[in-house]
Amino acid sequence: PSKSNPYYAFLEPIDKTLTEYKIHKDTKVIADYAFGECSNVEVVTFEDLNTCIGIGNYAFINCNNLKRCNFPSSIDTINSSILDMIPNIEMYNDGIANYLGNDENPYLMLCNITNKEIEEFNFYESTKIILEKGMIGCPSKEKLEIPNNITQISAYSMGYYPNIEIGDGIKL
């Protein structure tokens, strides 16, 4: 927090027993372990979907009851194993894969391929992050192209692709 923006970083809630939390519209960062002791949380709502740029490591650890979160489209980085921390989160499914996001951009983060029968996989222009295990089960290709709109590829997300082309500025 700073004098010019006291909501810059969300460190932790004052009351850790609530089931619903709203993140202030001026929050830029969710700190490491921010919700770590909030085992009752079911809903996290970001008031602004274009302000928060990062969610810290283990920010949602032990949040097994978290069902809904409207992850901001402005996020560039997030803990790659977030799905292990929030196993009951509602995901968007397009018939091919599961995603985390929000109503305006449901395809923000690729979680996993669910349709193993597809012959080709194409990324949405609005997808920015490939989470851990996100591409496992993707149909075999001689060449997989990762577009420039992807800002983060998590460890262990790809499986084996001998010829991967990655766009500029992607964080591995």
| pLDDT tens per residue across all 172 residues of the chain | 567 888 899 999 999 999 999 999 999 999 999 999 899 999 999 999 999 999 999 999 999 999 999 999 999 889 888 888 999 999 999 999 999 999 999 999 999 999 988 888 889 999 999 998 888 877 765 567 788 899 888 877 876 555 555 656 554 4
* pLDDT the model gives residue 143: 63
What pLDDT score does 167 carry?
59
CA pair distance 36, 13, nearest whole angstrom: 10
pLDDT of residue 95: 95
Please tell me whether residue 55 adopts helix, strand or coil conformation: strand
Amino acid at the residue 69? C
Which phi and psi (to 5°) does residue 30 adopt?
-100, 125
> Residue 96 is encoded by which pair of tokens?
């091919």
Residue 76, phi-psi category: left (phi > 0), alpha (psi -120 to 50), beta (remainder):
alpha
Q: 141 in helix, strand or coil?
A: coil
pLDDT of residue 44: 97
- Which residues lie closer than 8 Å to 77 by C-beta, 6 or more apart? 53, 54, 55, 129, 151, 152, 171
